[in-house]
Amino acid sequence: MVSYKIIKVKTPDFNMDIKRIKGMNDILPDEAIKWRRIEDICRKVFMGFGYNEIRPPVIEKTELFARSIGESTDIVEKEMYTLTTSKGGHITLRPEATASILRAYIENSLYVQNPVQKFFTIGPMFRHERPQKGRYRQFHQVDVELLGTDSPYADIEIISLLDYLLIQLGIKDITIQINSLGCKECRPVFQKSLLNFLQGVNKELCQDCRRRINTNPLRILDCKVPSCKKILINAPVILDDLCKSCNDHFNRVKDGIGALGIAYKVIPGLVRGLDYYTGIAFEAITDNLGAQNAVGGGGRYNGLIRELGGPDLSGIGFALGIERLLLLTENNRGEDGDVLLPLYLIALGEKARELFFNLSQRLARASIPNGFSFLTKSLKAQMKLADRNNARFALIAGEDELSDGLVILRDMQTKFQKQIPIENLFENIKNEIMEAEVI
Ligand code: HAM
């Protein structure tokens, strides 16, 4: 792998007036290396657990998200990027991946041969939130879904997968918080006692929470306003109202993840920002990200496949935000330091340029990354470029060397130089690079 160092230089002001959209970031080459590392580890872990990649489109009918995530959630109420089609319909840039994966599972009848299907996807999501560290308008998720079973083993596998993935990514100081949000039998019982409580403290709640009493009372439990948090300490707890089936399921999952040695904390006030969850819900929380303390989250959604027009099958999954994973791995720079461009070609004079351009193309086709200056520059300027590109070797050809049938190979680390014959140049250079084990 090759690292192209991005040097921050003072750039002339060209009066550029078209800039990127607020909250949407360029991932520049030196950053992209870190993204690739995360994506590669995720892919390897997911495939090891038997999950198959699926790539739904990034835009879907608005109705898909409204019906699954819930009309009265923040995401659907105010965060979606929605376009009107020429026929007056509405389509939305996906704010998450679960709904699209379920739509694809149903629409392509993937459940027919085997209802139990395991999927993962990696890609951009869009939410019109106020940007801050760890919160963007275009962000990226790795997402997994295990569909077609309500076995507690599925919940245990999903939480185990989350735990193992975080270990493989080298992310420490994470707490896995879990809760059960009940089912269509027991949730209404809890909602009733919660409403009773909320109506009693109505006047002391923030404006947002007062509005939510009528639209989405469960979300009030997640309010971050300190005065609300204080009041909600005394709110009823959903775990007290779970029916026998939800309670048994919750206990089996806790026992199962405990037996795998996964550390977790039961947080009875944990609720999620999407309405589709039933039963187990969980989040991976850190103290190292400031306000955006959730690296990932997920849970079970037992009625959702049917709600979207499919069979009565269950599912469970989670998503992690790649930007947040990157913020947490920012200190793990060891690997990048080792990464070098194997070779930079420095040609002086037209004859040497022609020779080296051809060599550059041959090396590239043999998967040997190399640099070549397209601009005619002095030896000093090109040496500087080799240095900036973190090159391990520089290959130098001037008129004099060429007339002697030689070029010079300079080890940029040891400064040792040696002459290489032009005859069989490609093979000679390939051997030198292989011997130095730069790739
Ligand atoms: P979510 O909790 O909304 O869940 O998002 C999952 C993760 O995406 C968050 O924990 C966070 O790391 C990242 N994320 C969310 N919004 C932003 C943002 N504006 N900027 C940066 N990162 C963000 C879901 O999306 C569910 N679909 C997860 C799931 C899958 N549940 C079941 N299956």
277 class by beta-carbon count within 10 Å (0-12 exposed, 13-18 middle, 19+ buried): buried
Q: Which token pair is 14?
A: 């060209």
> Is the CB–ligand 1 distance for residue 155 below 6 Å?
no
Tell me the residue type at 80: M
> Is the CB–ligand 1 distance for residue 129 below 6 Å?
yes
Give the per-residue pLDDT at 11: 67
Contacts of 200-206 spanning 24+ positions with Cβ under 8 A: 201/231, 204/231, 205/231
> Is the CB–ligand 1 distance for residue 276 below 6 Å?
no
Q: Are 319 and 297 in contact (CB under 8 A)?
A: yes
Residues of the chain with pLDDT under 70: 1-11, 331-339
- Distances, alpha carbon 289 to alpha carbons 125, 135, 377, in Å: 20, 10, 45
> Is the CB–ligand 1 distance for residue 296 below 6 Å?
yes
Protein residue with least CA distance to atom 14, ligand 1: 321
Give the per-residue pLDDT at 336: 45
CA of 125 to the centre of ligand 1 (A): 9
- Distances, alpha carbon 32 to alpha carbons 4, 5, 329, 390, in Å: 10, 12, 14, 16
**pLDDT more than 90, % of the chain:** 87
Domain with CATH 3.40.50.800 in the chain: 339-436
Name the nearest CA neighbour of 140 among 31, 263, 262.
31
Residue 311: other Cβ atoms inside 10 A: 13
Protein residue with least CA distance to atom 8, ligand 1: 321
Q: Rounded to an integer, what distance in angstroms lies between the CA atom of residue 155 and that of residue 148?
A: 12
Give the per-residue pLDDT at 438: 83
Residue 222 DSSP one-character state: G
Name the nearest CA neighbour of 321 among 32, 42, 104.
42
Name the nearest CA neighbour of 112 among 313, 247, 293, 297.
313
CA of 142 to the centre of ligand 1 (A): 9
Give the per-residue pLDDT at 41: 96
CA of 299 to the centre of ligand 1 (A): 12
Residue 135 DSSP one-character state: B
Q: Which token pair is 171?
A: 């992310």
> Is the CB–ligand 1 distance for residue 122 below 6 Å?
no
Structural domain 339-436, CATH architecture? 3-Layer(aba) Sandwich (3.40)
CA of 131 to the centre of ligand 1 (A): 15
Give the per-residue pLDDT at 9: 60
Domain with CATH 3.30.930.10 in the chain: 2-186+242-329
Q: Which token pair is 242?
A: 């779970």
Give the per-residue pLDDT at 7: 54
Instruction: Indicate the pTM of the whole model.
Output: 0.89
| Domain 2-186+242-329: CATH superfamily, name plus number | Bira Bifunctional Protein; Domain 2 (3.30.930.10)
The alpha carbon of residue 242 and the mean position of all alpha carbons in its chain are separated, in whole angstroms, by 33
Q: Rounded to an integer, what distance in angstroms lies between the CA atom of residue 267 and that of residue 238?
A: 10
SS3 content of the chain, % helix, strand, coil (to 5): 40, 20, 35
Give the per-residue pLDDT at 2: 43
Give the per-residue pLDDT at 339: 52
Residue recorded with tokens 């040792």: 416
Backbone angles phi, psi at 194, to 5 degrees: -65, -45
Q: Rounded to an integer, what distance in angstroms lies between the CA atom of residue 68 and that of residue 76?
A: 10
Q: Which token pair is 182?
A: 């009940």
Q: Are 292 and 283 in contact (CB under 8 A)?
A: no
> Is the CB–ligand 1 distance for residue 315 below 6 Å?
no
CA dihedral 182, 188, 193, 196 (to 10 degrees): 140
Name the nearest CA neighbour of 149 among 319, 312, 318, 320.
312
Q: Round to the nearest angstrom and report the end-to-end CA distance of the chain.
A: 7
Q: Which token pair is 107?
A: 């629409």
CA of 357 to the centre of ligand 1 (A): 46
Give the per-residue pLDDT at 16: 85
Task: Reduce the DSSP state of residue 262 to 3 states and report it.
Answer: coil
156 class by beta-carbon count within 10 Å (0-12 exposed, 13-18 middle, 19+ buried): buried
Atom number of ligand 1 nearest to Cα 143: 30
Q: Which token pair is 195?
A: 């409403």
Please list the residues that pair with 412 across neighbouring strands.
none
Give the per-residue pLDDT at 331: 55
Give the per-residue pLDDT at 222: 87
Tens of pLDDT, residues 333-356? 444 444 579 999 999 999 999 999
> Is the CB–ligand 1 distance for residue 270 below 6 Å?
no
> Is the CB–ligand 1 distance for residue 273 below 6 Å?
yes
Task: Reduce the DSSP state of residue 88 to 3 states and report it.
Answer: coil
Q: Are 165 and 143 in contact (CB under 8 A)?
A: no
Q: Rounded to an integer, what distance in angstroms lies between the CA atom of residue 243 and that of residue 183?
A: 8
